[in-house]
Amino acid sequence: MVKKLKTNDKHINKLARLLTGPNAILYHKEDLLAYDCDGFTIHKHLPRAVVFPKNTEEVAKIVQYCAKHQLPFLARGAGTGLSGGATPLNNEVIISLVRMKKLISLDVENRRAVVEPGYINLKLTNSISDKGYYYAPDPSSQYACTIGGNVAENAGGAHCLKYGVTTNHILGLEVVLPNGEIIHLGNDGIPDTPGYDLIGLITGSEGTLGIVTKITVRILKNPEEKQTVLAYFDDVEDGSRAVSDIISTGIVPAAMEMMDKTAIEAVEAAAFPVGHPKDIEAVLLIEVDGISAGIEEQITDILNVCTSRNVREVKVAESEQERARWWANRKTGFGAMGAISPDYLVQDGVIPRSRLPEVLSRINQISEESGLRIANIFHAGDGNLHPLVLFDANKPGDTEKALEAGSACLKVCADVGGTITGEHGVGIEKIEEMRFVFSDSEINAQTEVREVFNPDNLLNAGKLFPSPGRCGEVKKAMKAVIS
Amino acid sequence: MVKKLKTNDKHINKLARLLTGPNAILYHKEDLLAYDCDGFTIHKHLPRAVVFPKNTEEVAKIVQYCAKHQLPFLARGAGTGLSGGATPLNNEVIISLVRMKKLISLDVENRRAVVEPGYINLKLTNSISDKGYYYAPDPSSQYACTIGGNVAENAGGAHCLKYGVTTNHILGLEVVLPNGEIIHLGNDGIPDTPGYDLIGLITGSEGTLGIVTKITVRILKNPEEKQTVLAYFDDVEDGSRAVSDIISTGIVPAAMEMMDKTAIEAVEAAAFPVGHPKDIEAVLLIEVDGISAGIEEQITDILNVCTSRNVREVKVAESEQERARWWANRKTGFGAMGAISPDYLVQDGVIPRSRLPEVLSRINQISEESGLRIANIFHAGDGNLHPLVLFDANKPGDTEKALEAGSACLKVCADVGGTITGEHGVGIEKIEEMRFVFSDSEINAQTEVREVFNPDNLLNAGKLFPSPGRCGEVKKAMKAVIS
């Protein structure tokens, strides 16, 4: 028998009856506080309730109930997103998928695995590494983030240079549509599937088209060997020329990461210092992987390129331990900002690789004009730049200045032919910046697609696309939070 | 001054005035005959007219006119498609893009090129090879097919095993929507773009969502070295186990092609025989490419795998000439069927690699039951199987039998967890087979997306998705053609 909950909200009582697990619904304000935002903490709002379905059927029932009673709702994974995609703007019922966390099946011969959306990214690699396989997309949050969330945001990672972002690794999806219908997309998905590429459409749609309840992913064979190079440059331009030169040799590194002087200061002050020189302008971390025989020659080519671009010092990791340390140093990059600044805002632009020196100098200008320091961490190989604007939320006006500086950085990226997000998504954060890269009719074409799937706009409304009304509301809401 | 055309069709006269080039419109029946189908020749129908716009603005004007006057229309490239995507079913105005064939710009440093849709696939590689670059997707028709057509069909090719199909190489699109509006999608597109993946949605949409008028493609650096292996097996199962074993070593060959005994008979009787043994059950053509240093070891691994799977004979190409000959032999595969059969029907299924022996034995059964020979050409690495049903259109009942056998082959592919097209598209040909892999609500989700872009269904109607009415009509029309 179902116990009546301690609330008079009839919808919450009804929703509770659709769920079978213990403690499958939260509705007390103190419980809901943990769900008032995701990793984009500037904007917060309480949900109506949080539900924890155990399987696809429960998700479908919840969605059908919400659709019938016109209750806004949205899906949430681990809440590590950086643009507010899982933040409730409309008192939503949050459908948390963390209890749907099974590895459903593994087919090593055909290189695929089927997982539930709450399955943690790194756990997949850990469960198959003894068989010699791994899952490629590796966002820095991979120890916590879920594969369902990765699909929603089309997550990337340091190694997406060679292996591609999430969308390149998704072979099939089970999706609960906003009307509660369950659909299946893709089979093995190789090399192409008939009909429209709805898998591609839903991947990266930031939770606005449906709720993914099962995911078939591609798994990859572990490379036979990896080698990692660290190179220090006195001039950022030399470093970025080296990046282009390496790509020009025909080598496709597994990863090619750059940090500037301010970022180096931060990571050296954080948990995993590696002893980067303090006066250096740029460090490059380059990894190559593959069949053993080819690796040595690639490393030689990379060292030669670095030398020709006036590298101050360059070295190859001598042990797996050293390699792991270099990566830990780099992967703590965002969090490390906490060591040198009370608050920071991560931005996420994409630029043509060759425009890096120009873009960095314009970002320096923005930093000077705003009076705020900006560190730069850069997936250099694929042109994905993360300016980190350092500020102090307790200092009046600083948050606004940081938001303005962040937006200005994205404008610079858009102006050189790049775009406003590489892997973090638009969410709430970059809604207005969508206008830097899309015309009204281009935005309309997209919102019309949303209407097909989500006609009543109950699912994750107010995200991803600007609309005159919503834009103003968000801006107002943000101002209210900031002031 | 505009000359009045020799027709009383007022729309043709009006359309002619929207075009500036010489002979920019065809409307005489004898001229239209060349446009009554594409490479899928079983179904033919005359268009109302064929127009040859010179630029995006002319395309937009034609489309606006058609939209205003509710005239059905569709776009056509080189007409090499194999599923009827460019065949007019509704007396369409065909918008031929062959005069829009410029290489607009080339940006070697950021690895991208911008082309018009009528630009020929192979021409791109030929124009950049002196700089050390190439364009990866290589359908067998690449000497004739256009990149615009490749985008519409999401074309593949022998080398898509390592490098991916067309959608993996498209960074941006300019599209004329069915209402005549021009939109721009993507920037450099790396690694992800904000908003929905409309580039992915339009790529492979078989000309039903819009007309692509400009394409930004990724170009790749030529590999430093290529090596090619030919291996003969007395048992198809051994050959297909070798394919799985090679993938399991961690090698990703650039291509891995298989032909069965009947296919071998055909290619040996055609333009480029290479002396394959006549009594062999399967030949594998395997190519590896990349940095020189790693190649030799990969070849050794491949030879070892073949030996362990009871290969009768295996050899490495000793010269570029020999390598080119082997590829010419393989790439003439479809056409070569003409040497052993008056007519043939190409099918295009996808299966999990590991199910190949089982699928081939079921295809043999279908062949026996239908009394028609079936040859098999197989992009083995990525599970894309092309059964070629041999028949004689002049023999009463043979065409119908061939269509039935082809459909039965696709059913087998769908039943083992595969799908009904790998790279040729659905078009007219596989409309009914879409039901093998999609439920009604999955098809509805897709046709609703089409309605957003193409609300009046003027653009390429009757393709890609079954609908009760249309399905019956096509079937009836097909029967009329066949009988």
Gap between the Cα atoms of B220 and A252, Å rounded? 10
pLDDT score recorded for residue B187: 62
pLDDT score recorded for residue A340: 92
Percentage of chain B modeled with pLDDT above 90: 72
At residue B112, the 3 state secondary structure works out as: strand
Does A455 lie at the interface with B, CB-CB under 8 angstroms? Answer: no
**Per-residue three-class SS string for A57-105:** HHHHHHHHHHHHHCCCEEEECCCCCCCCCCCCCCCCEEEECCCCCCEEE
Decide if pLDDT at B472 tops 70: no
| pLDDT tens figures, B376-385 | 999 998 889 9
Decide if pLDDT at B69 tops 60: yes
Decide if pLDDT at A456 tops 80: yes
Does B64 lie at the interface with A, CB-CB under 8 angstroms? Answer: no
Which pLDDT band, with edges at 50, 70 and 90, does A187 fall under? low
Task: Report the CATH number of the A10-96 domain.
Answer: 3.30.43.10
**A187, A192, A209 ranked by CB distance to B204: nearest:** A192
Mean pLDDT of A262-279: 93
Task: Report the CATH number of the A341-423 domain.
Answer: 3.30.70.2740
Which pLDDT band, with edges at 50, 70 and 90, does B246 fall under? very high
Residue with tokens 């000793």: B318
Decide if pLDDT at A446 tops 80: yes
Decide if pLDDT at B140 tops 80: yes
Residue B341 phi/psi, 5° resolution? -155, 140
Decide if pLDDT at A477 tops 50: no
pLDDT score recorded for residue B192: 59
Decide if pLDDT at B163 tops 90: no
Tokens describing residue B346? 């190409």
Q: Which residue has the higher pLDDT, B95 or B422?
A: B95
Q: By the 8 A CB rule, do A400 and A410 touch?
A: no
Residue A287 phi/psi, 5° resolution? -125, 135
Complex confidence, ipTM: 0.71
Residue A420 phi/psi, 5° resolution? -95, -5
Domains A223-339 and A341-423 share a fold: yes
pLDDT score recorded for residue B430: 92
pLDDT score recorded for residue A44: 92
Gap between the Cα atoms of A36 and A86, Å rounded? 9
Mean pLDDT of B428-457: 90
Task: Report the CATH number of the B223-340 domain.
Answer: 3.30.70.2190
At residue B92, the 3 state secondary structure works out as: coil
State the sign of the Cα–Cα–Cα–Cα dihedral B95, B96, B101, B106. Answer: positive
Mean pLDDT of A9-36: 94
Looking at beta carbons, which residues of chain A come within 8 Å of B438?
195
Residue B121 phi/psi, 5° resolution? -45, -55
The pLDDT mean for chain B works out to 90
Mean pLDDT of B406-433: 92
Gap between the Cα atoms of A45 and A29, Å rounded? 11
Residue A45 phi/psi, 5° resolution? -160, 140
Residue ranges of the alpha helices (H) in B332-467?
333-336, 356-370, 398-415, 434-437, 440-453
| Domain-wise residue ranges, chain A | 10-96, 103-221, 223-339, 341-423, 434-482
Chain A from 193 to 212: CB within 8 A of any B CB? 193-198, 200-201, 203-205, 209
pLDDT score recorded for residue B413: 94
Which pLDDT band, with edges at 50, 70 and 90, does A250 fall under? confident
Tokens describing residue A24? 């499958």
pLDDT score recorded for residue A474: 41
Decide if pLDDT at B37 tops 50: yes
| Angle subtended by helix axes B356-370 and B398-415, to nearest 10 | 160
Which pLDDT band, with edges at 50, 70 and 90, does A43 fall under? confident
Asked if B248's CB is within 8 angstroms of A195's CB, the reply is no
Of the candidates A65, A252, A233, the one whose C-alpha atom is nearest the C-alpha of residue B218 is A252
Decide if pLDDT at B481 tops 70: no
Gap between the Cα atoms of B116 and B111, Å rounded? 17
pLDDT score recorded for residue A471: 40
pLDDT score recorded for residue B1: 44
Chain A from 343 to 362: CB within 8 A of any B CB? 350-354
Which pLDDT band, with edges at 50, 70 and 90, does A3 fall under? low
Residue A42 phi/psi, 5° resolution? -70, -30
Which pLDDT band, with edges at 50, 70 and 90, does B74 fall under? very high
Decide if pLDDT at A347 tops 80: yes
Q: Which residue has the higher pLDDT, B442 or A483?
A: B442
| pLDDT tens figures, A104-138 | 999 888 889 999 999 999 999 999 999 999 999 99
pLDDT score recorded for residue A470: 41
pLDDT score recorded for residue A480: 43
pLDDT score recorded for residue B160: 84
Which pLDDT band, with edges at 50, 70 and 90, does A483 fall under? very low
Chain A from 172 to 191: CB within 8 A of any B CB? 177, 181, 183-185, 187-191
Gap between the Cα atoms of A40 and A57, Å rounded? 30
> Considering just the CA atoms, what is the radius of gyration of chain A in Å?
23
Does B60 lie at the interface with A, CB-CB under 8 angstroms? Answer: no
Mean pLDDT of B437-455: 89
Q: Which residues contact A236 (CB under 8 A, 6 or more apart)?
A: A260, A281, A282, A356, A357, A360
Chain A from 459 to 478: CB within 8 A of any B CB? 464-465
In DSSP terms, B173 is beta-bridged to: B185, B215
Which pLDDT band, with edges at 50, 70 and 90, does B3 fall under? low
Gap between the Cα atoms of B411 and A464, Å rounded? 40
Which of B291, B413, B423 to substitute to test the interface with A, most A CBs within 10 Å? B291
Tokens describing residue A473? 């509301």
pLDDT score recorded for residue A469: 38
Decide if pLDDT at A316 tops 80: yes
Which pLDDT band, with edges at 50, 70 and 90, does B469 fall under? very low
Which pLDDT band, with edges at 50, 70 and 90, does B478 fall under? very low
Exposure string for B238-258, b = 16+ CB within 10 A, e = fewer? bbbbbbbbbbeebbbbbbbbb
Gap between the Cα atoms of B254 and B13, Å rounded? 51
pLDDT score recorded for residue A192: 59
Task: Report the CATH number of the A223-339 domain.
Answer: 3.30.70.2190
Asked if A196's CB is within 8 angstroms of B223's CB, the reply is no
The domain made up of A103-221 is a member of CATH 3.30.70.640: no
Q: By the 8 A CB rule, do A379 and A156 touch?
A: yes
Tokens describing residue B43? 């179904």
Q: Which residue has the higher pLDDT, A116 or A157?
A: A116
pLDDT score recorded for residue A2: 54
Does A219 lie at the interface with B, CB-CB under 8 angstroms? Answer: no
Residue A460, Cβ density class (10 Å: 0-12 exposed, 13-18 middle, ≥19 buried): buried
Q: Which residues contact B259 (CB under 8 A, 6 or more apart)?
A: B267, B282, B283, B285, B330, B333, B375, B376, B377, B378
State the sign of the Cα–Cα–Cα–Cα dihedral A95, A98, A102, A107. Answer: positive
Mean pLDDT of A277-303: 92
Looking at beta carbons, which residues of chain B come within 8 Å of A109?
244, 248, 352-354
